[in-house]
Amino acid sequence: MFKRNYFYIEQQSHFADTVTMLAAQLQKGYSLQALMGITVFISASDNAGFSTKRQMIRQTVSQFFDCLPVACIAQPVGEGIAVEVWTHDTCRNLRHKATEGIHITTCEDSFGKSIWVFGICAEDIHLPFHEQATFAFEKMQALLASEGFTMDDIVRQWNYIPQILQTVQQANCLYQHYQVFNDIRQYYYGQYKSNGMYPAATGIGMQYGTVAIDFYAVKKADAVIEKALNNPNQINAFQYGQAVLVGSPFQADETKKAPLFERAKYLASANEALTFISGTASIIGEKTIGGNDIAEQTRTTLRNMLQFMDPENLQSAGIERSKPEYSYLRCYVKNTEDIPAVQKICEEQTAVPVLYVQADICRDDLLVEIEGEAVFS
């Protein structure tokens, strides 16, 4: 089974020393043959500074872990950096390699043949936003095709969107970054998906960089089950109405496209099963709940997440397994000063590792978003 955890590196007097400590911690704690990839969360003061730090991290890690996929995300975690690590303890034929200019990991396990990709993004920070998103999806499609996969095989996807809430006025149109991303995602899914299903996904803001995509895809083995899990208290994101989508459609003759993802995704073989929980927020129906109350939003978010694991909800999806337990959570908090309050509430309700990062959520009135995995015994 694969899993994720994280470690934190305190900021040193020079960022290069911080990165050296990152590499040393990876070498000390992990074998290359168990690593699927890493995500490094950093702070930066501008795009140039972010690009410099990202390049330093990539180069240093590659000296010790050849072709290990590395994503660098401008979501601060305090003064230092956080390193999220994906590992696998039962995979076969694990390979790290470069495909389409991107480092990837392929392996085989009870779910089938899988591919892990971290950090698909345009290097040119000056690209217009829609070109950034287009580049990421084009690269994702090319990479999947080169490895014999399709977009139908994607089970979990992470979408990192710089200045996610930013709007740009052009003539009589108002374009929001997140909505433009959703419109472009719909185009590529429409072109390259045919199974009528969507992956579990997170769409989240970051301070700097260009649109970045990470994903896990699997060519399922015989008898492996993949199912979407819904929350009866929420409208499916892909069914959102125009009223909750911001700005103008990217294509003037069309309507704004809803976010195309499932609330959660269940994956099971005869030997193991888990659920990927998409980025989840304080939304009931399709409306934000909690106003500016961080405590209420956090509790509502956690209740929404627990709903996916409710025995009746699982049974309604045809899943007859014992109740799963969360194994890991990543928590995005809009305002840094709210992190202690969110942490206190999360610690009251779960004992699993939780990584807290600062990031804008996909709606201006949302203060917190949580994602994670749950494993069935």
Q: Can you give the CATH number for the domain in which 261 is found?
A: 3.30.1330.40
Q: Which domain does 321 fall in, by range?
A: 2-375
Q: What is the pLDDT along the chain (377 residues), one digit of tens a residue?
A: 899 999 999 999 999 999 999 999 999 999 999 999 999 999 999 999 999 999 999 999 999 999 999 999 999 999 899 999 999 999 999 999 999 999 999 999 999 999 999 999 999 999 999 999 999 999 999 999 999 999 999 999 999 999 999 999 998 999 999 999 999 999 999 999 999 999 999 999 999 999 999 999 999 999 999 999 999 999 999 999 999 999 999 987 789 999 999 999 999 999 999 999 999 999 999 999 999 999 999 999 999 999 999 999 999 999 988 878 999 999 999 999 999 999 999 999 999 999 999 999 999 999 999 999 999 97
| Domain count along the chain | 1
Name the amino acid, one letter, at 167. Answer: T
| Opening angle at CA 258, ends 254 and 262, nearest 5 | 145
3-state helix/strand/coil string of 152-172: HHEEEEEEEEECCCCEEEECC
Strand duo 200-206 + 273-281: pairing: unpaired
Give the span between the Cα atoms of 160 and 317, in whole angstroms. Answer: 30
83 token code pair: 């390193």
